[in-house]
Amino acid sequence: MDVMKPSPVSLTRPPPALAVASFVSAFDRFAVSPMLVLIAADLGVSLSASVAAASGYYLAYGLTQPLWGVLSDRFGRVRVMRFALYVAALAGAVSALMPALAALVVARVVTGACFGAVIPTSLTYVGDTVRPAVRQRALTDLMAATALGTAVATGLGGVLAGLVDWRVAFTVPAACALACALALRTLPEPPRHEGAGHGVARYLGLVLGHRWALLVFALAFTEGAIMLGTMPFLATALQHDGLAAAVAGLAITAYGLGLWAFSRLVKRLSGRWPAPALMLAGGSQLCAGFALVSVHVSVPAVVVTALLLGGGYSFLHSSLQNWATSVVPEARGTTIAFFACALFTGSAIASWAAGPLAEHGRYGLLFGIAAVAAVPLTAVAVVTRHRYGTQPG
């Protein structure tokens, strides 16, 4: 049972400082998508090589999650997040100065590793401070902030890169990260379960020995591979046909707008629809979106696909997030960390694997694979979440 230690901290929505930090983290993560072609041209490398700046970021973002989760369980959510933001600000600023691809990739790996602490720790904070009955609504508020960051990044990132310089798009979130770290000084630490502060082995044992937690991690890995690993190629697909980076970035801004709009709908439906129904709605949108661009890539098709992907992620991912916050409440930070690790590791592996297809312009095949893979993901998520809900508590 998800019972928290009594505390004066009792919320119904994320604190504004966390929402802003999540916005900045999302901006930094998604701003690179419309810039890959320009980075490749400026540094004199191939597109498939420049993808390393994104996949390396995603991989570091994902693989460091267990570390951040254990540290937040042991030392506190806010303390860990502020430290990570300070280092992310420094590494982000360094990214803008790198003269060669290898150096840029190293800087982006460090930046991703540090920004990786923000959203998962924010989710854990919500899990610690919001009662289960309204938690998914609070999580969708946090997702809305992330969605706005994504929308601004995909639009403004492309504009900055195309009209000014791609390095500017790395400088902006670095400055914002520093501001967020300073703003979080007044945020109180959330309540902690009895036994918090115990050794790493205890947290790892609780999480990795829980069969439902392992299932949620597997679903997150698959979702990350299909959704986050493939979506960045919507912009490069348009640029492959000669569209400017600024226009391509604006086209996929529809993803962030769809994510924000549909997250409002999910917030309304979360108390009425069961989790499996929300998952089914989300998975269906993912499949339909990728199927559309597998047939034909154009600005209208990409805009519709981006809207569908935003809706699909709102329904499916928020349901998986909510499941992850409750499956092992006594080690929530570690659980959310492994959840995020699985999500972004999946996205990194998929984006790396998709690089050669993008290099040769085989976007129809790339998006078709994603559409087909969304079917078993949705089926397994719906069936297992239903079975989890019927388990004796």
Following DSSP, what letter does each residue of 64-94 receive, concatenated?
Answer: THHHHHHHHHHH-HHHHHHHHHHHHHHHHHH
- Residue with the bigger pLDDT between 3 and 189: it is 189
Written out in words, the top-level CATH class of the domain with range 13-189 is: mainly alpha
Q: Which residues of 294-328 are buried (b: 16+ CB within 10 A; e: fewer)?
A: beebeeebbbbbbbbbbbbbbbbbbbbbbbbbbbb
Per-residue pLDDT for 199 more than 70?
Answer: no
Written out in words, the top-level CATH class of the domain with range 198-392 is: mainly alpha
Q: Residue 178's pLDDT is what?
A: 95
Poorest-pLDDT segment among 2-6, 200-204, 228-232: 2-6
- Tell me the two tokens of residue 259: 């994510």
Q: Residue 145's pLDDT is what?
A: 83
pLDDT digits (tens, 9 = 90+) for 315-369: 999 899 889 988 888 778 788 888 988 887 888 789 888 888 888 888 999 999 9
Q: Residue 2's pLDDT is what?
A: 42
pLDDT, average across residues 26-49: 80
Q: Residue 5's pLDDT is what?
A: 43
Q: Residue 322's pLDDT is what?
A: 87
**pLDDT category of residue 9 using cuts at 50, 70 and 90:** very low
Per-domain residue ranges of the chain = 13-189, 198-392
Per-residue pLDDT for 157 more than 80?
Answer: no
- Report the C-alpha gap between 295 and 290 in whole angstroms: 9
Mean pLDDT for all residues in the chain: 84
Domains 13-189 and 198-392 alike in fold: yes
**pLDDT category of residue 384 using cuts at 50, 70 and 90:** very high
For residues 342 and 221, is the Cβ–Cβ distance under 8 A?
Answer: yes
pLDDT, average across residues 106-111: 93
Q: Has this prediction a pTM greater than 0.75?
A: no
